[in-house]
Amino acid sequence: MEAINKIPISLYKSLSDKLVSVILDSDDRDAISTEETKKIIYLWRQDQLTSPTGIETLLKAGVKVDQVAVDKILDDLGLQEVAIAVKAF
């Protein structure tokens, strides 16, 4: 996703943490697939959740879990361009 390149690296950690919270706090355990869950766990074990691949993976999963929460996180961080791109998922 091209929009990932518009996210300042300085925001990766904060964005990653917030997206992980959205995903873990979800009551809908079936919102993301087993494969997506495995990918998130793999990226976490490799300390890659704050990489472009990790951010993109978390954004895609977060949108499936709670689009409104993800929109708010992106808006709070001033990432409106990313929020627009995420709506296209």
Q: Render pLDDT for 1-57 as a digit per residue (tens, 0 to 9).
A: 788 888 999 999 999 999 999 999 988 878 999 999 999 999 999 999 999 999 999
Is-contact 59 86, C-beta < 8 A?
Answer: yes
Q: Where in the sequence is the domain holding 7, given as residue range(s)?
A: 2-86
pLDDT above 80 for 88: no
pLDDT above 90 for 79: yes
3 or 67: whose pLDDT is higher? Answer: 67
CA–CA distances in Å: residue 56 to residues 20, 76: 12, 18
Flag whether the pTM goes above 0.75.
yes
CA–CA distances in Å: residue 30 to residues 18, 55, 56, 64, 71: 20, 21, 19, 10, 21
**Total residues found in the chain within this entry:** 89
What is the dihedral angle through the alpha carbons of 20, 60, 69, 19, rounded to the nearest 10 degrees? 20
Q: How many domains does the chain have?
A: 1
Helix residue ranges, H only, the chain: 12-24, 34-45, 52-76, 80-86
Is-contact 17 73, C-beta < 8 A?
Answer: no
